[in-house]
Amino acid sequence: MVEGNYEKVLEKIAKSAGLEKEEIERRVEAKRAKLSGLISKEGAAQVVAAELGISFDDEKLKIDELLPGMRKVNVVGKVINLFPVRTFTTKKGDEGKVANLFIADETSNIKVVLWDTNHIELIEKSEVVINKVIEISNASMRDNEIHLGSFSEFKLSDEVLDNVKTERVVKEKDISDFRIGDNSSVRAFIVQAFEPRFFNVCPECKKKANQEANGFVCGEHGKVVPEKRALINIVLDDGTESIRSVLFHETLPKIGITELDNAERLVNQREDLLGKEMVFSGNVRNNKFFNNPEFIINEVKEINLDELLGKLESK
C-alpha cells in the first residue's frame, strides 16, 4: 500500500513557492473550509498553486504527481496492460473507437484512455504493445485517468524505464475525498448492514449464471451446475462522510459473516457488524441505479494499532 500523491504535490508546490510544506497545507485546508469541504484536497491544492502563480503546464510529471482535473499533462510510462480496442456508436449515430491501457513508472501506475483514431491506430498496428515506453503530451486528467484527445500527443519514447510499479496502487483517503475510479483504503465504522443478496455463478469462470428452462447457463461454458454466492451492502462512515459499500462472498468471512444459510445466526452476525471499525480497501465506482459513488470492497483488515501509532508519531 502506498500513500496518495497529495503529500508529494504539497512538497512540489512548497518548493516552487519557497514556502514550508505546512504553510501550503494550511492554505489548502483554509481553501476547503471556505468552500464548505465541497472540493477535494487535491483540487484545493491546485487552486492554491494557481494563486501562488505555479503552473504544472508543460512540465513532465511523474505518475504519482498527477491530480484529478489537471490539464496539459505530460508524462512518460511503460505499457503494463493493454485492452482490445472497442467501437461504439455516438448519439448522432456515428461510429467511434476507444482504447484503454495502463502505464507505469517507478512511482505509480495509471489508466490511459485514447479517443483519437491516430493514437488508437498505433495499437491496432501493434506498434504500441506491452513493455513499450510511451510519451504522452497535452493530455488531461479525468478523475484518476489520463485522457487523450485529438490535440494530445501519443508516441513511442526512447526512455528506459526498468523498475516500474506494476502492483495495484491503493491510496489512503478520507471518504469525503473519494472519487470515481479511485483504488482507496479507509479506516471506517460500519453504520448500516443490509440483508444479503444471493446469485449463482459458473464454477469455471465465476461469472453470473442465468437460469433458463433447462437449468443454469453460462455465456462462456454453456449449461453448468452453479455455485451459490452472496453479497451484502453496508454503509461505512469515517467521520468525514458515509458511503454505500458492497462486500462480496470472498470478503464476508473477514467481517464475521460465516453462516449465510442460517437465518437466525445471520441476523445476529449482521447486528454484530454495526459499530465495528476496520480498514477497508477497494474501488470507487458509480452506481448507475442510484447515480452516486459506491465502494466495492476487495480487502478488509483489522486495525493494526502498532502501525497506527507509528503513523501518528511520524506526523
Sheet with 210-212: list strands edge to edge: 210-212, 215-218, 222-224
Same domain, 153 and 186: no
Same domain, 259 and 310: yes
Task: Identify the pLDDT of residue 282.
Answer: 92
Give residues with Cβ within 8 angstroms of 24, minimum separation 6.
10, 13, 14, 17, 45, 48
Residue with cell 500513500: 3
Asked if residue 33 is part of any domain, the answer here is yes
Q: How many domains are there within the chain?
A: 3
Task: Identify the pLDDT of residue 2.
Answer: 39
Domain harbouring 163, CATH code? 2.40.50.140
Task: Identify the pLDDT of residue 103.
Answer: 97
pLDDT, mean of each 10-residue run, the chain (315 residues): 63 89 92 81 86 82 84 94 89 87 94 96 96 96 90 95 86 86 90 88 86 87 88 93 92 83 74 90 87 91 75 60
Same domain, 83 and 175: no
Same domain, 134 and 87: yes
Largest CA distance in the chain: 72
Range of the domain at 301: 171-198+229-314
Same domain, 238 and 295: yes
- In contact, 298 and 182? CB cutoff 8 Å: no
